Structure formats: C-alpha cells, structure tokens
Chains A and B, each alone.
Chain A
Amino acid sequence: MISEQLDKIREEALKQIKGSDGLEKLNEIRVNFLGKKGELTSILKSMKDVAPEDRPKVGQLVNETREAIEKVLEETKNKMEAAARDAKLKAEVIDVTLPAKKNKVGHCHPNTIALEEVERIFTGMGYEVVEGPEVEKDYYNFEALNIPADHPAKDEQDTFYINGDLLLRTQTSSTQVHEMEKGKLPIKMIAPGRVFRADEVDATHSPSFHQVEGLVIDKNVTFADLKGTLAEFAKQLFGPETKTKFRPHHFPFTEPSAEMDVSCFKCGGKGCRFCKGEGWIEILGCGMVHPHVLEMSGIDPNEYTGFAFGVGLERIALLKYEIDDMRLLYENDIRFLNQF
C-alpha cells in the first residue's frame, strides 16, 4: 500500500522534474516532494500507522525514494546550471582584437638607458659608480690630467670658463683625480656625468653631452688588462660576437693611449651604411694612466699602474638606436621619447 504510494510519488516527482524548465521550478519540486511539508515527509509522518515490524522496511523504502528523487534532482540541476553557464559564456564573447587598454607608463631617455647598460656591466665587474662636480677647477679638468696651461689640448677642447680658475668640465676625467686624491687603493670606478664643450648645436654636436669615465689603479695593472676589460665591455654592450680593435692614439693623461673600435654591430663587420662601409665603429678612448697624473695625485707610479677610459653616452645611444640627429636627444618630443 505504502510502497504503491511511494512509487506513485516517485513517478510523479520524476515526471515533474523532467518537465521542469528552470532552477526555480526545480526547487519548487524539491520543496513539494522532499520539504518539511512535502509528500514524502507526510508519508514519514504517517509511519505511526504502520505496524512496528514493518516500520524499518517502510523507512528504507521512503529513503530509497528520497534518494532516487534527490539524485535526479541533482543531476537535472547540474545540467541546467551547465547549460545556463554555457549560455552566459556564449553571450559574453568579446572581440579580442579591439585595442588594448594600456597603462600609460613613461619612458626612459635613451641616454639613461645607455648609462644604465654601462653601469650594469661595470658594477658587475666590481666597479664603483662615482660622481664629480660639473663646475670644476681648472686644476682637476686640465693640470692634474697632464694638460698644463699652454697645452694645445686646452684649446682643442674649447672650454667654457666661469673665470680664470673655474670652468665647466670638458671631460669626466676630472673625476679620476678626485678619486685618486682620496688615497684609497685599489681604485675601480666609473664616473658618468655631464660635460661641456663650446660646440655649436648641430646634428652631431651639442655644447653639453655625457661621458662615462673609467679608472682602475692597482699593482701590476697592464695594457693587456685594459684590452681585456674593454673587450668584455664591448661584448656585453653590443653582443657576444663583437670584436674589438685598438688603435694607437694620444691623450695627455694616458701613455700608451688607444682608441677602441668595435666590429659594426649592424652588419657584423662586413661594411654597411652604418659603419660607412668600414666594418668598424669608433667607440672610446683609453690608455695607461700617465705616471705624471698618478704622481700629481699622490700615487707612486713605481708601485702602481692603472688604466683609464672614457666613452660618450650620446655616441652609444645614437649608434645603438640609430638616431641620426643629436638634437633629438635634447628636444624631448614625446613622439621620440616614447620609442624607448
């Protein structure tokens, strides 16, 4: 009798579930059949009319019926939810090729990018980065670098003077002297900074530009060490295939002196528009610190030797980024800066 009733309930429930059209309806069905006032519950309530010996069996039947209904309810619910999500996802299709929403981040100046490259390479080799004054005493810019009062190099550099003794430094080499005077050896430093020369503004000249000076002083530092250090620098800056060539040159504060060329990093040395067909590009000047320079700064040249080099930041920036006019570096047109 009860089992028939249960079968009927189950049948009715499954029929209603099958015919349901949404989660709400499904919930209604759950309440109607399984809720506190539901049909199944009312059967349980009528258990008191069942003979005690039959009660466990009836109880079991009721539970089976409940489980059967619950199972179908759950399955149907899952199916409906999945269908609803699918429908939602379908409705949410976007055009992924529409423009991106960019964070407006500012850009670093090519000079600074070049400087940070140089700093990264040399600090990695244990160099300290130091700075010196831009308005400088004649002594540090010239005399202490073996460029006495009447030296032609003083004219060549077309110096801006404040007065007889103070000037705008023409080279970051002045920072060498300040470091040497500190008397702390060994020295392994680079000194980046702004320098000034009385050159009219044009595509390849600027009255103010930037250099990075390098200086190493210790016992037994050799020209071979200078070559090795700068060859490593060139490889890190321009790529591992970069070759270096050292040509004799003259600077008053180094002897022997050299200029370093690197194999053209655009054509690999075959010759191109960029290296003017030569395959090599001049990058920097360098040499062994002149014994007079060491002596003037209180270092015994019989005990210590060292090398120095100076590289133009703008030169590296212009070369690396193929910038064809130096004036662009000081105009600060956002369309230029945004490219870096």
Chain B
Amino acid sequence: MNSSKSWIKAYVPDLSCTDQEFFDDMTLSGTKTETYTALDKNLEKIVVGQIKTIEQHPDADKLVICQVDIGKETIQIVTGAKNMKEGDKVPVVLDGGRVAGGHDGSPNPAEGIKIKAGKLRGVPSAGMMCSIEELGSTKDFYPEAPEDGLYIFPEDTEVGADAVEVLGLHDTVFEFEVTSNRVDCYSILGLAREAAATYKLPFKAPVVKVKEDGKGNVKDFIDVEIKDTDLCSNYCARVATDIKIAPSPEWMQRRLASVGIRPINNLVDITNYVMMEYGQPMHAYDLSTIAGNKIVVKRAKDGETFVTLDGQERKLDSEVLMICDAEKEVGLAGIMGGENSMITDDVKTVLFEAATFNGPNIRKSAKRVGLRTDASGFFEKGLDPANALDAINRACQLINELGCGKVVPGVVQVGLPIKPLKRFALEADKINSLLGTDISKDEMIEILKREEVEYDKKTDEVIIPSFRQDLNQMCDIAEEVARFSGYDKIPTTLPKTSATTGGISFKMRVEKKAREVAQFCGFSQGYTYSFESPKVFDKLLLPEDAKERQAIKISNPLGEDFSVMRTISLNGMLTSLATNYNRRNKDVRLYEMGNIYVAKSLPLTELPDERMQLTLGFYGDGDFYSMKGVIEELLDGVNMLDKVEYDPNAGKSFLHPGRQANVIYDGEVIGYLGEVHPAVCDNYDIDTRVYVAVIDMPEVVKYAKFDTIYTGIAKFPAVTRDISMVVPKNVLAGDIEKMIRQRGGKKLEELTLFDIYEGSQIKEGFKSMAYSLLFRDKEKTMEDDEINSAMKKILKGLQDLGIELRS
C-alpha cells in the first residue's frame, strides 16, 4: 500500500517530521514502511520560464535559440524541442541545476543529470527546458504532457515560480507493508489515523456532506436486490445525473499519480480516489445500459461466460458472484465491470456502487477467473460493511465539488444489518501481566483513544470501532497498548519458568554421530530437495513394479520436476555429483541426511512414514571397499559393527550387478552400498565410476548404543596362525569369515585377510586367499592343544566349503 506524505498530511495537518523519521516511527508503531521515494529527488534549480522568442540556430537545422523569461531575468537557451511556441511556459533547469533523467525513457541515473551552461554548436545556452520524463515522472501521471517534447504549464502559471512545486513533486511516496489483519490500513485514511496516533496529533477525517442537487429520488432510478447475502452482505447505490466527463483537477491527479494510479477522467478518478482514500472500491455504471432499473446480486451459473470491460471473455461458475440487471450480467462482482455497462464519454447518468463482498470468495473467484484487479485486491481482505456508505457519500461529495454532475437525493442500502460495535472488558492487569509491564490504566485508555477505541467507564469496557475488525479480545488490546507505548519500553527479562532439562533426542544424537563419521571420512554435507520428477524412477532403471514408484504426488507442484515426494534418496546425490563432475571438480565425496517419504497406501490417507536416510556418494579416489569402510566406521561409532554382514543379492537395479550389497545388522537390512550402474551414470552424464551407500537411519537408531564397557588390555601373549587357501570363486569371504569366527570361538581375537589373488598361478575358477588368525586367552597363556583343536575345526569347515588348503 502506497501513500504520498502530502496525502496523509491532508488528514494530519500538524504532521511535521523528516521522511526518515516518518519511516522509522511508523515502522516502530506497527505500520511497517518498506521504502520511501522522494519525488523531487535530483530535481534542483528548476523554475517556470516563459519563452519570449524562438529563432533558428544559424549552424544547426534541428536546434532553435529561445529567449526565456525566468522572472528575474531573461536567459538564452538552445533546444532541440519542437512542441513549444512563443509565450509557452515551461520548466527550466538553470545552470548548476539537476534533473532526474533523460527523455528517452532509459532508467534514471542514481545521481540524476547535472545541467551546466555551455555552448551548443557555438551558441551559448544558459540552461535547459525539460520534459516530464526529465523531471522523473511520466505522461501516465501527467496526461496533459505532450507525447514528445517539453512539458508546458497552464497559461496562468507564475513565471519564475519553483516548477517542482507547481508540478506537486515536492513530496515523498512511502510504501507500507500492511499486515493482513489491518484491513483498515489499506486506505490513506487508515494510514493517516495510524500516523496521527503515532505522533499524538489530531486526526481530521474528511467531513462528508452531499449536496443532493439532482431531481427525483434514487428509488426512481434503481432498485437493488441481493440474492446471495453470504457473498454480498451490503450494497449501497447512488445516482448522479447530468454527467460532464472532463479531466479531474490537478490535485486529484497528483494524488492518484503519487500512489501509482493513472488519472483518466473525473468520474473514474473519483472512484479510484475514494477507493484509495477509504479503502472501499466502487464501481460506476452507465445507468442507460442497466435494463429494468434493477440491480440483482447473485451467483453465476456454471459454464456461463461474461465479457469484462477490458474486452476479455471470462468463464464463470456457480461460486462467482455477479452484478446483474433485470436481464443480464453487468459486472463481475468486486473484480471488474462488464463491457456492456461501462462508462463512455457520452454517459449522462451514472449509478455508483459501493458494496461489501465476501473476501475469501472474491479471492477465489479472482483466481479462478484469472483476473486480479485493484478492486479485488481490496475486497479479498474482507472489508468493513460500515465503510461502504461513507465511501459512496464521499464520492457524491466529490461529484459536487468537481462539478461533474448532479447527485440524486437518497441512497439505496440493502443487505444484512450492520453489526453493533464490539465491546469487551479492558483488563488492565491482565494486559500488564501478559506484557511484563506496569502501564497505568489511564495511559492505556489514552493510547486507545488515539486509535478511536473508546472506553466506557460505567461498564469498564472498550468499544471497538467498526473498522478495527482485528480487535476481539484482551491480547489484541495488549498489542495496541504495547505498540503505542513502544515495544522498546517493554522490559527485557528471562522467563522464570520451572526448571527444564532440555537437550537433543537419541535419534538426533545418532544422526549427529553419522554426520560426524561421514565428515571424518572426507564426505561433505549436501542438501537436496524433497520432491523430484517422476522421471527419476526411469533414470534409476527401477522396474515398473518397484515399490519406489509408489510416490506421493503433490497436487499443485511447481512443475513436473518437483512433483513427487522422493521415495529414494539417490537422485539428489547423483544430481549433486553430476554437477560437480560437470564442473570438473576432482575426487568429490558428498553425503546427505534427509527424509524419504514412504506412503502406507496410495492415494495418501494418513501421514507417510518419513524415513531419515544417510546417503553417501563419491567418485574419484576410492572403490567399493572404501565405501564399505565408511559404513563400518559409522556402525563402529554406534557400537553396531559386531553383527554386520553383507549380502551381495541386494537386487538394486541402479547398481552394478556384481558390485552391490545389502548391509545387514543382526539379520535385518539397514541399508545398501555399491557401484552405480554405468547405464545410470550415463543418465546423469557422469563418465566415471560412482559409489553410493544409503543407510536407513531409523534402523540404526533402533540398535545404536553409545555405552561402551571397558574389557581390559590383554595381559597374556597372543598366538598367530596363518591359513593360506585356494577358494572357489563363488565362495564369499564373508561366509568364510563367518564360519571361521564361529568355529574359532571367543578366543579368536582377530581375523585378518592379508592376501587375495586371482590370476595366472591359480587354477581357473579359483582365487587364492590368506588369513591370519590371532588367538588369545584373557586369563592365561594359550596352550598349543587348545589352538590346534580350534584350527582343526576351522580347517574342516573350510574343506566343507570346497576350499583347498595350501601348504
């Protein structure tokens, strides 16, 4: 919401502060000011001059030499402009002055443009005559300005006067961020009321008096019926005859221009002016187009169409409210009027409408119809029904003042009764205990009065003005008291709550440990989106019936690429790795800690299972076993390493079929790792081997332990035995180790693979492996017999696996 300072000052005449003070003070009292722009920025030494003579430049066809009277003296200015004649009054920038920009429409430089006396093609020129664009504005806001050329003042303008003043540019436009609860502040009057309260100054709202100088009574002209009062609670109508369309006066044009509204003509400008001033949009119909002198407010029928005054055909449905006459629709309620009833320059009699429409319905209708207007922007906030009558009367007063027509006596007002003013107790003690303050009741009453909230001493109640729909209970009043006594005046204390222990949950602790281990192992943390494209499933070569394809769909996604909730965390990882690969970053290791979303059933009826996944990925230095090492570091960090196994039959379509494994803890799958399938790498444009691992954190959280019990440092010597063997290729090291550990018993302290070889010296289909076994008894030195019997069991086991021992 924008307003010029001068417009606010029109209702707070005593307002006197710098722009920066106004910016700060309004923000601190609750009307947040985003920015402000001085309209006279970079406009210096600019006066009204009158062109006395125009002569051709002797050496330039396109230039003329003007003698310009600037009041105290006459100066010579050379110009290329063409649209002026002798006697015209124009803005003149004097030597050393400054203008906002050029006249070619390019963005204005921050410091403006400095003007100096000089020579043009040998002829001295003491300044510059300028266009409205050079003064930092546009023809949109100064419709009288020529299409191209100098701005020309009305004949009665005083020569030598400050041209910026004459143009009304000694002003500043403030942009306010009005919060959704303060509907009343979407109006210049509302903002002015806040300004007055902020500075403790008198607030002078316009005194509305309508001179009913038309003939007859409004009832002779129009009858209004609301069929759907749920969508239109209040409708006011007035009529003006003998309309004379003309430009509106300068003051009105300037005020509209200052808030970004283009002046059109007196009638349109009046409705726009009242919309900004009162925050109540209005509509003006050409009464001669209204059939049957009747307005009916009702829902449209599904599938109907309607042409709005911008000439566009709009599709309607039964939730769109329409303004109709006896025969047809004439307006899209609260959004835009119809082409069939629009005001033209030939209009004689005007019907004014000021209504209160249901905010949410207007918002939804505007969305569905695809047309959001200034008016709908106001209505969708939910306007005060009591405001409509004031606004329509104000419009009629302006009809009087601008001499734009004759106001027919009487007002039609139909709809639901206007609710009485809200009243509730002023609980000063409760307010103080909520705020932690010690503000006297009298001070509270004084503050509230500034906001037009009255206090009824008899009942100890506050009486809320109708425009303050946001004040409903004690805490709302507390905020009023707080913001006008100053948030900065409220003390700063710490809560005196009962003691709490605080801290993070076990789950977070395990996740933190996992992050630490990943980082320790050289992986940097990435973040990726939770939603992705359903094409991801094909990129990952997931079969048609893969459970990962059962993804939750977003009904209104930003696009297909963000349309399903991820059921697998790999796409984010591979995309990030691809980004790095594409940028030629070497040896990249990334991890992510983020949720996947697993639906219990689709379509979704209950909350999905959000499962935290630790996803690791790298390319460059390292291989499958490097990744396996990271997983073991992690599981060791949460005391889970003792029961971990790897199953090569993980069945992951997106991984290398011979280089993948499920990570199994105590018989349960807790994740997987592997080399990414080259076809998947191709899909992500990565031309190198990529290794990934995914750990399902809820499973880890289930088994993780942080308690360690010290077992003593071995006092007795260990005995080492090495086994060298020839193993059929299909026998897994994991199975061999599992068997050796089982048979070796508790005294087998360490089992280390120290050699593995496949190749020419080993027969086809076999590999050579060598393990070192370390036995130790914690209580005594081990006897040979004991070790021998354990070794015997182990060797027997190896033979059972089809393994040959090498001597």
Interface positions of A (Cβ within 8 A of B): 104-109, 111-112, 119, 122-123, 125-131, 133-137, 149-153, 155-156, 160-163, 166, 168, 186, 188, 194, 196, 198, 200, 207-208, 216, 218, 220-225, 227-229, 231-232, 245-250, 252, 255-259, 288, 290-291, 305, 329-335, 337-338
Contact = CB atoms under 8 A, between A and B. Distances in A.
Interface stretch (B317-325, B346-354, B444-452, B475-483): B475-483
Given A163-B555, A256-B475, A330-B529, A188 B500 contact: yes
Nearest to B512: A116
Interface string B487-508: 1101111111111111111011
Contacts of B555: 160-163
Given A223-B434, A224-B436, A256-B483, 11 more contacts: A127-B502, A133-B607, A135-B604, A135-B610, A150-B360, A162-B604, A218-B495, A221-B497, A223-B478, A250-B182, A334-B585
B329 interface: no
Nearest to A124: B502
The 4 closest A-B pairs by CB, nearest first: A224-B436, A222-B436, A248-B30, A332-B526
A231 B526 contact: no
Given A136-B607, A218-B497, A160 B524 contact: no
A91 B597 CA distance: 64
Interface in B519-577: 519-531, 552-558, 562, 565, 576
A248 B482 contact: yes
Interface stretch (B54-62, B277-285, B457-465, B587-595): B587-595
30 contacts: A106-B520, A106-B523, A107-B524, A108-B519, A123-B504, A129-B508, A133-B607, A133-B610, A134-B610, A135-B565, A135-B607, A152-B359, A188-B497, A194-B595, A198-B558, A207-B531, A208-B529, A220-B496, A224-B435, A225-B436, A228-B491, A231-B492, A247-B27, A248-B487, A249-B32, A252-B181, A305-B433, A332-B527, A333-B585, A335-B585
A128 B503 contact: yes
Contact of B494 (A161, A198, A225): A225
A112 B576 contact: no
Contact of A256 (B29, B381, B482, B528): B482
Nearest to A330: B527
Nearest to A119: B504
Contact of B437 (A107, A224, A231): A224
A119 B555 CA distance: 34
B526 A337 contact: yes
Nearest to A227: B492
Contact of A338 (B508, B524, B579): B524
* Candidate in B381, B502, B526 with the most chain A CB atoms within 10 angstroms: B502
Contacts of A290: 475
A250 B503 contact: no
B483 A225 contact: no
Contact of B498 (A134, A186, A255, A288): A186
A142 to B, nearest CB: 13
B473 interface: yes
A135 B524 contact: no
Interface in B22-62: 27-30, 32
Given A111-B527, A291-B475, A247 B30 contact: yes
B475 A255 contact: yes
Contacts of B553: 162
Contact of A194 (B179, B436, B530): B530
Given A106-B525, A168-B554, A246-B488, A221 B359 contact: no
A207 B180 CA distance: 23
Chain B binding surface SS class: loop
Contact of B556 (A112, A198, A256): A198
A107 B520 CA distance: 9
Given A133-B610, A152-B180, A222-B433, A332 B528 contact: yes
B394 interface: no
Contact of A129 (B503, B557, B562, B591): B503
Contacts of A119: 504
B5 interface: no
A153 B180 contact: yes
A245 B490 CA distance: 11
Given A134-B530, A134-B610, A106 B495 contact: no
A18 B476 CA distance: 104
A332 B527 CA distance: 7
A137 B183 CA distance: 29
A332 B593 CA distance: 13
A129 to B, nearest CB: 5
A330 B562 CA distance: 14
Contact of A126 (B182, B380, B482, B502): B502
B254 interface: no
Contacts of B580: 332-334
B658 interface: no
A223 B528 contact: no
A329 B27 CA distance: 32
A332 B529 CA distance: 11
Contacts of A335: 583, 585
Contact of A334 (B436, B520, B588, B597): B588
Given A126-B501, A152-B363, A225-B494, A106 B589 contact: yes
Nearest to B563: A160
A106 to B, nearest CB: 4
A337 B478 CA distance: 46
A228 to B, nearest CB: 4
A331 to B, nearest CB: 6
Contacts of A337: 524-526, 590
Nearest to A222: B436
A188 B508 CA distance: 18
Nearest to A225: B495
A124 B689 CA distance: 45
A288 to B, nearest CB: 6
